[in-house]
Structure 1
Amino acid sequence: MGTQRKRKTGKILGIIGMCAGVAAGGLGVATAPDWLQTAVESEAGTPQRTDAGLGSAVVAAVELGITPLDGAREVNPAVGPSVKAVHGTLKDVELVPAAGGKAVSGTISADGSTWSTLDPLEFNTEYRYGFTVVDGAGRETRKTQSFTTVSTANEANALVFPRDGSIMGSGQPIEINFSEPVADKAAMEQAVKISVSSGQEVLGPQSADPP
């Protein structure tokens, strides 16, 4: 009986000692840095951080949608490059020829999420992107990448009929034949403008598939 009482007394004293250690911060709190193995960057000053502590980050990672892709080749210069950021904003966006020259003009949307070009690109030219992304905590990340437009040999040509100086009847249609397939026919038709000096009525453009 005496031995059993001593064991029970020892267990009780052991439990009391563990509780005292936790209350004093000797367990758990003291070992938190060992669990992390690295410093946690503070987000206390951001609008998205409302609770103190060692909780996981509450600022969502920025996702980027970039056109063209990094390293892309034979890019159609008629398709304007763009950069879109989700969970972040864009600043200091620059698109320039790799060999040097004037930067391509662009505009950033009102919410700062999207940048798109205003000027057409050149054929057979390597371009380099450079832009800064800002996440919800105000942290900035610089990104760079490049792409190359299609070579001049693959540029589409247009053949107009009747030819300049030809004498035709008043009902002769004007034909424009392209050397490459037209991907956006509606946009092409909107871009074609025809006027006549005689005041003759001109019907709108009509597309036709090649035979």
Structure 2
Amino acid sequence: MSFGARAAGPTGGNHRLASAALGVATALIATAALATGTWGPAAMNRVLAGGSVSPPPALPAAEISIQAGANPIGDGLVPIGAGPAPVSPTTPVTVAVQHGTLQTVQVTDAKSGQQVPGTLAPDSKTWRTTAPLSYDDTYQVAAVAVGEDRQVARESGTVSTVRPAALTTAALRPSDGATVGVGQPLVVRFTRPVADRAAAVRALSVSTSPEQAGSWYWMSATEAHYRAESYWQPGTTIRLNANVFGVDLGKGAFGQANRAATVRVHDSWVAKADGRSKVMQIFHNGTLAKTMPISLGSPDHPSHSGPHVVSDKKPSIIMDSCTYGVCEGDPGYYKEKVDLDLRISNDGEFVHSAPWSVGQQGSSNVSHGCVNLSPANAQWFFSHFNIGDVVEITNSGGPRLPVWDTYGDWTVPWSEWQAGGKS
């Protein structure tokens, strides 16, 4: 009798070996999946207990977008790629990532080689430039991110800025730090005609303390004025910002640089000159401070009516009638030195000392349009009135001061002023 071991069948032993190997492999995969976070503990337990689960989903790779716009994703922004349209130099360059976090971003000026500063959001999902670009320039953008799949992703692109057909500057008046009277309007003068006035006004901002609503009015294609419905309140602080850099002002012209001015309004000084009574009353902060006899323009040369604003002040000037067409040899010609002069219009109207007409002051109007005062009254007026203070002329027999004549702003009704002088 002989003894021997029973041989395994063709499937029994191999099947058990294959099953064991599969179990070990599954356990190893499950352990790795648990370590990487792709499977949770419940899935792990099911596998180890002999159950089965579907293979873990693949984690997404990082998707980097480079855009020139205010928002990182969407809103109709044009991604930087093949042939993007040039952008304003004030448009921020934004880099954003989906399914990952940004590691490094560089925006480099192709001309200078300098990098543009930027800031990374706390969640490391977006990065944005924090300084303006330059006109007619190209910027190289390079970004590196790590995706949820733990793989490194890279993206690059270029941003080009517009090339203006022309640049225009904006000069501000009053200048920064000036102290002015309650009648002083804000003035912005452009060096070139502005085709897109709406764009220009959007770039201009005014704030006042205490708050007073105001509006812009275009005197011409190159000059815009701003005022409130009535004179400024005494003690008001006015801040004017002309943020025109990067702004398309129409017909290919762009703003060259931003400007700003902070102005303070001093006490209210308003003079009311009446051509009928030949008397001028002077009000300080609304209270009558002084009354003085005057002589306004003669019937042949009547003074303009309406509010005038002091725009210049000089101890003496040479007044020459030839500046308005009455030259030497013509009837009414004059050229003489005049003292204590405060200009109230560009049409040759001043408040000044007139010793030659003291006899007519208070009784008749004999000037060429100016407000004549005695030397003593002129000295008082010169000492108290300054740029931006107001002289209101009534009953002069003359036409209203044109809005465009220096600061004829207050002759325009508020409803018309708010229309902005669009015509």
TM-score range, shorter chain: 0.5 to 0.7
CA–CA distance in structure 2, aligned partners of residues 151 and 137 of structure 1: 42
Structure 1 residue 175: Cα displacement = 3.3
Fraction of identical pairs, as percent: 23
Structure 1 residue 118: Cα displacement = 1.2
Alignment partner of 1:189 is 2:231: no
Change (3 A) 1:77 1:171: same
Write the mapping of 1:130-145 to structure 2, written as runs, cut at 5 A: 130-145=142-157
Alignment partner of 1:121 is 2:137: no
Per-residue Cα deviation, 1:132-188 (whole angstroms, up to 9, x for no partner): 021013211111100210113255x35446588xxx975242133673452893x74
CA–CA distance in structure 2, aligned partners of residues 210 and 56 of structure 1: 69
CA contact (8 A) 1:48 1:58 kept: no
User: Which residue identity does 2:66 align to in structure 1?
Assistant: I
CA–CA distance in structure 2, aligned partners of residues 150 and 78 of structure 1: 10
Look up the match of 1:55. 55
User: Which residue identity does 1:189 align to in structure 2?
Assistant: S
Look up the match of 2:71. none
Look up the match of 2:108. 96
Tell me how many residue pairs correspond in the alignment.
172
Report the RMSD for the aligned CA atoms in angstroms: 4.3
Structure 2 gap ranges (5+):
1-9, 23-31, 45-52, 69-78, 207-239, 242-259, 269-417
Larger relative contact order, structure 1 or 2 (CA cutoff 8 Å, min sep 6): 1
- Residue 123 of structure 2 aligns to a residue whose secondary structure is coil
Look up the match of 1:174. 186
Runs of 4+ in 1 over 6 A off after TM superposition: 17-24, 51-54, 207-210
Structure 1 gap ranges (5+):
1-16, 30-42, 202-206
CA–CA distance in structure 2, aligned partners of residues 140 and 19 of structure 1: 48
Change (3 A) 1:195 1:125: same
- Residue 262 of structure 2 aligns to a residue whose secondary structure is coil
What is the TM-score of this pair, normalised by structure 2? 0.33
CA–CA distance in structure 2, aligned partners of residues 46 and 188 of structure 1: 58
Which structure: larger Rg?
Answer: 2
CA–CA distance in structure 2, aligned partners of residues 86 and 208 of structure 1: 48
Change (3 A) 1:56 1:161: same
CA contact (8 A) 2:64 2:145 kept: no
Per-residue Cα deviation, 1:186-211 (whole angstroms, up to 9, x for no partner): x742771532366469xxxxx97672
User: Which residue identity does 2:205 align to in structure 1?
Assistant: E
What is the TM-score of this pair, normalised by structure 1? 0.61
